[in-house]
Homo-oligomer: A and B are copies of this chain.
Amino acid sequence: MSLVPKFLSYGKKVIDLSADYRFKNTFVYESFYGVKHADKDNLKSAVYGLPELYRHKIRSAKLIANPGCYPTAAILALAPLVACGLIDYDSVVIDAKSGVTGAGRRVTEAFLFSEVYEDFKAYKVNVHQHAPEIDQVLSKLAIKKIKVTFVPHLLPLNRGILETIYVRKAAGKPARPVDLNQLYRKFYKNEPFVRIKNEGAFPRLKDVSGTNFCDIGIKDFGDKIIVISAIDNLLKGASGQAVQNMNIMYKFPETMGLL
Residues of A within 8 A of B (CB): 93, 95, 97, 100-101, 105, 107-109, 111-123, 125-126, 149, 151, 153, 155-160, 162, 164, 166, 202-206, 209, 217, 219, 221, 224, 226, 228
Contact = CB atoms under 8 A, between A and B. Distances in A.
Contacts of A120: 97, 155, 157, 160, 162, 204-205
B226 A118 contact: no
A93 B121 CA distance: 18
The copy count of this chain in the complex is 4
Nearest to A219: B125
A153 B97 contact: yes
B105 A107 contact: no
A153 B164 contact: yes
A101 B114 contact: yes
Given A107-B112, A119-B204, A120-B162, 6 more contacts: A118-B205, A121-B205, A125-B228, A126-B219, A149-B226, A151-B164
Contacts of A209: 118
A49 B158 CA distance: 34
Given A156-B155, A206-B119, A112 B112 contact: yes
B113 A226 contact: no
Contacts of A101: 114
A105 to B, nearest CB: 7
Contacts of A97: 97, 120, 153
B121 A162 contact: yes
A95 B164 contact: yes
